[in-house]
Structure 1
Amino acid sequence: MLVALMAKDKSGALQTRLDNREAHLAHVKESGIVAMAGPLLDADGGMCGSLIVLNVDDMAQAKAFADNDPYAKAGLFETVTLDIWNKVIG
Structure 2
Amino acid sequence: MPWFAIHCIDKPESADLRAETRSAHLAHVNAYKDQVLVAGPLLRPDGRAMGSLLIMDFEDRDAALSFSNADPYQIAGLFESRSITNWHKVLP
State the TM-score, normalizing by the size of structure 2.
Answer: 0.94
Deviations 1:5-25 (A, max 9, x none): 000000000000000000000
Question: Which residue of 1 is the match for residue 63 of structure 2?
Answer: 61
Is residue 19 from structure 1 mapped to residue 20 from structure 2 by the alignment? yes
Measured after TM superposition, the shift of residue 52 of structure 1 is 0.2
Instruction: Give the CA RMSD over aligned residues.
Output: 0.8
Q: For the residues of structure 2 that align with 1:75 and 1:53, how far apart are their CA atoms? A: 21
> Does 1:86 pair with 2:88?
yes
Alpha-carbon distance between aligned partners in 2 of 1:33 and 1:11, rounded to the nearest angstrom: 30
Q: Which residue of 2 aligns with 1:52?
A: 54
Please name the residue that 1:9 is paired with: 10
Instruction: Give aligned pairs, total.
Output: 90
- The worse-fitting range, judged by mean Cα deviation, of 31-40 and 73-82 is 31-40
- Amino-acid identity (%): 40
Instruction: Give 5+ residue unaligned stretches, structure 1.
Output: none
The structural deviation recorded for 1:85 is: 0.4
Distance between the aligned counterparts of 2:38 and 2:66, measured in 1?
A: 17
Structure 2 unmatched runs, 5+: none
Runs of 4+ in 1 over 4 A off after TM superposition: none
Deviation at 1:35, TM superposition (A): 2.0
**Superposition deviation, residue 54 in structure 1:** 1.1
1:34: how far off? 2.0
